[in-house]
Chain A
Amino acid sequence: MSQKTVTIASSVGLHARPASLFVEAASATGLDVEIGRPGEDPVDATSILGVMALGAKHGEEVVLTAEGDGADEALDSLVALLSRDLDAE
Chain B
Amino acid sequence: MVSPESRHGIGVSPGTASGPVVQVAPPVRPPADEPAPADAEAAVAEIRAALESVAVSLEERAASADAHAQQILKATALIARDKGLMKIATKQVGEGLGPAHAISAAVESYAAQFEQLGGYFAERVTDLRDVGARAIAAVLGMPAPGVPSFTTPSVIVAHDLAPADTAVLDPALVVGIVTEGGGRTSHTAILAAQMGIPAVVQVPRASDIATGTLVALDGDSGAVTLDPDDDFLAAQAQKRERRAKAFSHATGPGETRDGHPVALLANIGGVDDAERAGELDLEGVGLFRTEFVFLSASTAPTVEEQTEIYRRVFAPFEGRRVVVRTLDAGADKPLAFADLGEEENPALGRRGLRMSAERPDLLDAQIEALAIAARETTADVRVMAPMVATAEEAAWFARRVHENGLPKAGVMIEVPAAALRAEHVLGEVEFGSLGTNDLAQYTMAADRMQGELADLLDPWQPAVLDMIAVAGDGAQRSGRPLGVCGESAGDPLLALVLVGLGISSLSMAPSKVPAVRVALSMHDLTDCQRLAHIARSAREAGEALEAVREAANAEFTQIL
Contact = CB atoms under 8 A, between A and B. Distances in A.
B114 A17 contact: no
Contacts of B128: 49
B132 to A, nearest CB: 11
A53 B83 contact: no
B65 to A, nearest CB: 15
Contact of A15 (B83, B113, B124, B308): B124
A46 B83 contact: yes
Interface string B74-85: 110011001111
A21 B79 CA distance: 13
Interface residues of A, number: 20
B292 interface: no
Specify the main secondary structure of chain B where it touches its partner.
helix
Contacts of B6: none
B117 interface: yes
A48 B82 contact: yes
A47 B128 CA distance: 13
Given A49-B85, A53-B110, A20 B124 contact: no
A55 B123 CA distance: 13
B75 A17 contact: yes
Contacts, number: 52
Contact of A49 (B71, B84, B117, B120): B84
A81 interface: no
B313 to A, nearest CB: 14
A12 interface: yes
B68 to A, nearest CB: 11
Given A16-B124, A17-B71, A17-B75, A50 B117 contact: no
A48 B308 contact: no
A44 to B, nearest CB: 6
B337 interface: no
A48 B75 contact: yes
A12 B305 CA distance: 8
A10 B407 CA distance: 33
A40 to B, nearest CB: 14
Interface in B90-140: 110, 113-114, 117, 120-121, 123-124, 128
Contacts of A11: 308
Most buried by B among A17, A46, A53: A53
Given A13-B120, A16-B124, A53 B75 contact: no
Nearest to B78: A48
A15 B120 contact: yes
Given A20-B78, A47-B83, A47-B85, 15 more contacts: A11-B308, A12-B120, A15-B121, A16-B124, A17-B75, A20-B71, A20-B75, A48-B79, A49-B128, A50-B82, A50-B84, A53-B113, A53-B114, A55-B113, A55-B117
11 contacts: A11-B308, A13-B120, A17-B71, A20-B71, A43-B84, A44-B84, A46-B83, A48-B75, A48-B82, A49-B79, A50-B84
Interface of B: 71, 74-75, 78-79, 82-85, 110, 113-114, 117, 120-121, 123-124, 128, 308
The 6 closest A-B CB pairs, nearest first, are A55-B117, A47-B84, A15-B120, A53-B113, A20-B75, A48-B78
